Amino acid sequence: MPAAGPGPSFQAPQPPTMAGATLGAANEALHPHIVAMEERKNDADRRRQLELAISEALQQEAARHEAAVKNMHRLRALRLERDQKAKRK
């Protein structure tokens, strides 16, 4: 019984063709467009990540500002209370 697989009578299958061209040639022709689409997708992803980071930074800055204003009011109230106690003495 002869062994299955490549041998003298084995022929590799031919690649499928499209209108006289091989699929490889079609892929090569589309390759620049595919690369450009992927680059645009990567650019869009980068832009979204950047916008997300900026939005998060703005929210953090707003929270810091709110905390600073709250602290300022607390310190002012403490100073007023201290000054009122000093006037009573």
**pTM (2 d.p.):** 0.51
Pairwise CA distance, residues 55 & 45, whole Å: 15
Residue 65 lies inside a defined structural domain of this protein: yes
Number of domains the chain is built from: 1
Q: Which domain holds residue 57?
A: 18-88
Within a domain: residue 11?
A: no
In whole angstroms, give the CA distance from residue 65 to residue 61: 6
Q: How far is CA 19 from CA 25, 30, 57, 71, 80, in A?
A: 11, 15, 55, 75, 89
5 located within any domain: no
Residues 6+ apart with CB under 8 A from 22: 15, 16
Asked if residue 60 belongs to a domain, the reply is yes
pLDDT digits (tens, 9 = 90+) for 20-33: 556 666 666 677 77
52-81 pLDDT tens trace = 999 999 999 999 999 999 999 999 999 999
Q: Does a structural domain hold residue 71?
A: yes
- Please check whether residue 7 lies inside any domain of the structure: no
| In a domain? residue 38 | yes
